[in-house]
Amino acid sequence: MDESMQLGGNIELSGFGDIDGASMVVLKKIIGNYGRRMSDISSKFEKLSVAMKPVDDEESKKFEIHAELINDGKPFTSETMEKNLFVAVDNALKKIVNDLS
C-alpha cells in the first residue's frame, strides 16, 4: 500500500501513487470541489478520505474507489467500481453528497 497524501487540511487520498501527474491534477480538482460542497452542506465537516485500488479482471482494468466523510462524528461511506477513474471518483463522492442532503 502506498502512502497517503493530504489535499488541504482535512482531505486524505490513498492509493493514488501510480497515477500520472496530469490525471492527478484533474482528480485533485474533482475531489477538492466535492470536499468544498460537502463542507458547505454538512453540520461539522471533519475529514474526507478517498482510497483507490486498481482491479485487474479478465476483461479490463477497473478502479475501485472507497470514500468516507466524517461529519460530526458520523461516517458517510461510499464505494464504486468503474473502468474510468474520473467517473468512479465522481460517483463515489456524489453518493456521499446525496446522503448528506
pLDDT (tens digit per residue) in 39-69: 999 889 999 999 999 898 777 889 999 999 9
| Residue 65, Cβ density class (10 Å: 0-12 exposed, 13-18 middle, ≥19 buried) | buried
What residue spans define the domains of the chain? 4-100
pLDDT at 50: 97
pTM of the complete model? 0.90
| 3-state SS, residue 72 | coil
In whole angstroms, what is the distance from residue 32 CA to residue 44 CA?
Answer: 17
Look at strands 74-82 and 61-71 and give their pairing. Answer: antiparallel
| Cβ atoms < 10 Å from Cβ of 66 | 16
CATH topology of domain 4-100: Double Stranded RNA Binding Domain (3.30.160)
